[in-house]
Amino acid sequence: MNTESQIAAHVRGILSLLGEDPTCEGLRDTPHRVARFYMDFLSREVTNTMTTFESGTYHDLVVVKDIRGWSLCEHHLLPFSFVAHVGYIPEGRVLGLSKIPRIVLHHACQLQLQERMTQAIAADVLAAVGHDAGAACIVEGQHTCVSMRGVERDPTMVTHAFLGSLNLPEARREFLSLVR
């Protein structure tokens, strides 16, 4: 039995335990659809090749705003949507523009905590541009595990990570002014 079939069998069991009939027309293919979703979402191959270019004399803050995405809460397996803002100060090299959204996608396509994802994104950007530089990430997330259960409200959770030279107060203020 392959992985998709094994996951589908468990989903079928969950449906039965919830009092549903997994053989009825509307649910017959649901276990395989759910299995395929999790397999596709959690195994997205995102190239991690970090193309950089000589920046010459450019050493000012670079910010990529409004990177929208989805992830899955590792506590409830429910989705959360987010908007990420990522910035860095290059030290001789700049990242290819598409690399920052790829770094975000790489971390979003796993079972995740928003706090950990935010820190990991900033750390990957810092590693790509050089540890003498600075990197920052702010993630604003809406979690369905909060809005659909428990308190049943829809707050926005904001997490941030400031690393290297972007952890200095003046650099933080500049980054925050550009993403707001």
Q: Point out the catalytic residue in the list 114, 119, 137, 160.
A: 114
Task: Please give the Cα distance from 149 to 80 (Å, whole number).
Answer: 13
Q: Is 59 a catalytic residue?
A: no
Distance CA 62, CA 76 (A): 35
Q: Could you confirm whether 145 is annotated as catalytic?
A: yes
Residue range(s) defining the domain that contains residue 154: 52-179
Q: Are residues 25 and 78 in the same domain?
A: no
CA distance 110 to 76: 13
**CB contact at 8 A, 139 and 158:** yes
| Tokens representing residue 165 in the block | 């030279």
Q: How far is CA 17 from CA 10, 11, 12, 22, 23, in A?
A: 10, 10, 9, 10, 13
Q: Measured between alpha carbons, how far is 18 from 172 in angstroms, rounded to an integer?
A: 49
Please say if 24 is a catalytic residue.
no
Catalytic residue among 20, 76, 110, 174: 76
> How far is Cα 46 from Cα 104, in angstroms, rounded to an integer?
10
Q: What is the pLDDT of residues 115-138, one digit of tens each?
A: 999 999 999 998 888 777 899 999
The answer to whether 160 is a known catalytic residue is: no
Q: Clarify whether residues 159 and 71 are in a common domain.
A: yes
> Tell me, what's the pLDDT at 170?
94
pLDDT per residue as tens digits for the range 5-46: 999 999 999 999 999 999 999 999 999 999 999 999 998 776
110 is a catalytic site residue:
no
Backbone angles phi, psi at 125, to 5 degrees: -65, -45
Residues 37, 67 share a domain? no
Task: Taking residues 149-165, report their average pLDDT.
Answer: 89
Which CATH number does the domain housing residue 15 bear?
1.10.286.10
| Residue 98 lies inside a defined structural domain of this protein | yes
Catalytic residue among 106, 107, 143, 160: 143
Amino acid 52: pLDDT: 83
Within-domain flag for 47: no
Report the pLDDT value the prediction gives residue 33, as an integer from 0 to 100: 97
pTM of the model: 0.90
Q: What is the pLDDT of residues 77-121, one digit of tens each?
A: 999 999 999 999 988 888 888 999 999 999 999 999 999 999 999
Sheet with strand 157-164: strands edge to edge: 111-112, 62-73, 79-89, 134-143, 157-164
